[in-house]
Amino acid sequence: MTKSKYASSFLKIAGASFLALSLAACGTTDSSKSDDKKSSETTKETRTLTDAMGNKVEVPVNPKRVLASYLEDNLVALDITPVAQWSVNDGASIQDYLQDSLKDVPTVNYDLPLESVQELKPDLIIMDSASMVEGDKYAQYKKIAPTYVIGKDLNNDWRDELLRVGEVFDKKDEAQAKLDEYDAKSKEAATTIKEDYNSPSAAGIWIVGGKAYIVAEELSAGAVMYGDLGMKVPDLVKEVSAKTETNWNEISLEKLASLDADHLFVLNSDGDNDKITTSKIWKAIPAVKADQVHTFDPTSSWLYTGTVANTQIIDDVLESLKK
């Protein structure tokens, strides 16, 4: 079955419905008035770039009103402010970890309704993957503004995404510098974790909607913990990862009982309604019995990926291991 990219913005985060994020709504972000004059400030000068779908795109040299939903981590890393930011339920759920940079940016719904896009008057639209513009969507968005597609896959490599976004804005050197900075940080952190903590095993768990999800080995926070920081991969994570293409995957409480991780990094979206961590099975998990559970607010960066998100995850891991 073909997946819509905007339906799959959630699938990138979890292998099932993302409904529960709306239960932990962060409040509606106020929409600011669009300044129609801004669009006229955009230079008519363009650069011709070929996107992931092979489209020749006339990209404005100095775009003023950029719409790049679910690519905001890359924009923030490159000091670019979009005309609107990704959200769910008309701004009820947003990428909270980016709000220091995006707090005054209005929201647009994750599925990018054409009417909403038109009202925003973008001079450049950047799409995360080909599935976002399947069918005749590309032609429709292109009528509104030049539309550039970053990648073909549901889960594009975040490093490649940043470099491609950098290329669109003629900031590829800045993008590479950000990657170099991140790689230096992760390498130093991996050394610390190896020398001071003997590279312990770990797992990321998300509790939401009365269910538990575990992060895949090579995606999202899993890529940071195992790939960048060199933490050991529990057998259960390997088992789940061999059968998935999504970041977070539902797992039964009974399966969690066999989780052989030294540390658990837990995001709890259920709050007072949580039935997972109060169960006898959960309390019998070795890491729980050893008091090595590190809990983070679900509005943190752990459900996302990118230079900004992953840097924050590294800081969270290091701080947790010190306790």
Q: Can you give the residue ranges of every domain in the chain?
A: 30-170, 197-322
pLDDT of 245: 84
Q: Which residues of 101-111 are buried (b: 16+ CB within 10 A; e: fewer)?
A: bbeebbbbbbe
Token code pair at residue 16: 């099932």
Q: What is the pLDDT of residues 293-315, one digit of tens each?
A: 999 998 999 999 999 999 999 99
Between 2 and 111, where is the model more confident?
Answer: 111
Q: Which residues of 121-130 are buried (b: 16+ CB within 10 A; e: fewer)?
A: bbbbbbbbbb
Which residues, at least 6 apart from 150, have a Cβ–Cβ distance to it below 8 Å? 51, 52, 71, 126, 127, 128, 129, 156, 161, 164, 165
54 pLDDT higher than 70: yes
Report H helices in the chain.
5-11, 19-23, 36-41, 72-77, 99-102, 114-120, 137-144, 158-168, 172-197, 220-222, 235-241, 253-256, 280-283, 286-289, 307-322
Fold: same for 30-170 and 197-322: yes
40 pLDDT higher than 70: no
**What number does CATH give the domain 197-322?**
3.40.50.1980
11 pLDDT higher than 70: no
pLDDT of 56: 97
Q: What is the pLDDT of residues 72-102, one digit of tens each?
A: 999 999 999 999 999 999 888 999 999 999 9
CATH 3.40.50.300 assigned to domain 30-170? The reply is no
17 pLDDT higher than 60: no
What's the CA gap between 315 and 311, in Å, rounded?
Answer: 6
pLDDT exceeding 90 applies to what percent of the chain?
80
The average pLDDT across 160-177 equals 97
What's the CA gap between 52 and 47, in Å, rounded?
Answer: 16
Between 198 and 22, where is the model more confident?
Answer: 198
pLDDT of 153: 75
Mean pLDDT, all residues of the chain: 88
5 pLDDT higher than 70: no
